[in-house]
Chain A
Amino acid sequence: NAGVTQTPKFRVLKTGQSMTLLCAQDMNHEYMYWYRQDPGMGLRLIHYSVGEGTTAKGEVPDGYNVSRLKKQNFLLGLESAAPSQTSVYFCASSSSGLPVRTDTQYFGPGTRLTVL
């Protein structure tokens, strides 16, 4: 199993450009998450999904959109990038595993995004 993978690993954008970050997991997990990590702060939740076709806002959703068309993929989009979105982005997944729900999240390797 590859676990959680993220594409790309690095990206530099100009202000106003758009891009999509791809997260893929091969663990058949129901839940998927997008976080951003900034210096001096813990990870903050951007958006999450509790199943295929569903998405929900996290702590810092403004400026981002997400889609979960397939269970194994969770896409994070920036429609018009801003310098404030310079950050490291992490994807994570976890299982809903009823009747015993697994709450541990497994993280991808991260994407470093710079917006000039």
Chain B
Amino acid sequence: AQTVTQSQPEMSVQEAETVTLSCTYDTSESNYYLFWYKQPPSRQMILVIRQEAYKQQNATENRFSVNFQKAAKSFSLKISDSQLGDTAMYFCAFMIPNFGNEKLTFGTGTRLTIIP
């Protein structure tokens, strides 16, 4: 079974600073997808960024980037120039592509607070 571990239950950072959220996972598969989802106080789950395991290049979406270390099974999220609107719970998630059986496995989340 696949597991996803987020070891930082809570983090806080000053506005405009950079913050890195950690995620590690465990799997014996070689082909899979990794995701970061954001859940603001509105409760909506919003996709932040995704990474295909077969791609060596780290994914980037504007101020959000990942550091994907496949051998170490690590998938951290870096938020640059943090903004107040980044305050949210952040979930790391993992999926194995298996036609008709794709399921997301989530970590327990990191609560990020951006301080004005």
B47: which of A33, A106, A109 is its contact (CB, 8 Å)? A106
Contact A42 B106 (CB under 8 A): yes
Contact B91 A103 (CB under 8 A): no
Contact B103 A42 (CB under 8 A): no
> Cβ of B109: which chain A residues have Cβ within 8 Å of it?
42
Contact A101 B97 (CB under 8 A): yes
Contact B91 A43 (CB under 8 A): yes
> Cβ of B43: which chain A residues have Cβ within 8 Å of it?
88, 109-110, 112
Known: A107-B45, A109-B42. A42 touches B100 (CB 8 A): no
Total count of chain A residues near the partner, CB < 8 A: 27
> Cβ of A48: which chain B residues have Cβ within 8 Å of it?
103
State in angstroms the CA–CA spacing of A90 and B89 once bound together: 15
Closest B residue to A54 using CB positions: B100
State in angstroms the CA–CA spacing of A106 and B45 once bound together: 8
The B13-50 residues at the A interface (CB cut-off 8 A) are 33, 35, 37, 42-47, 50
Contact A45 B45 (CB under 8 A): no
Closest B residue to A48 using CB positions: B103
Contact B102 A42 (CB under 8 A): no
Known: A42-B108, A43-B91. A107 touches B100 (CB 8 A): no
- Contacts A33-B104, A103-B102 aside, 19 further interface pairs with beta carbons under 8 A come to A31-B102, A42-B4, A42-B108, A43-B45, A50-B101, A58-B103, A92-B45, A94-B102, A103-B50, A103-B97, A104-B35, A105-B47, A106-B47, A107-B45, A108-B44, A109-B43, A110-B43, A110-B44, A110-B45
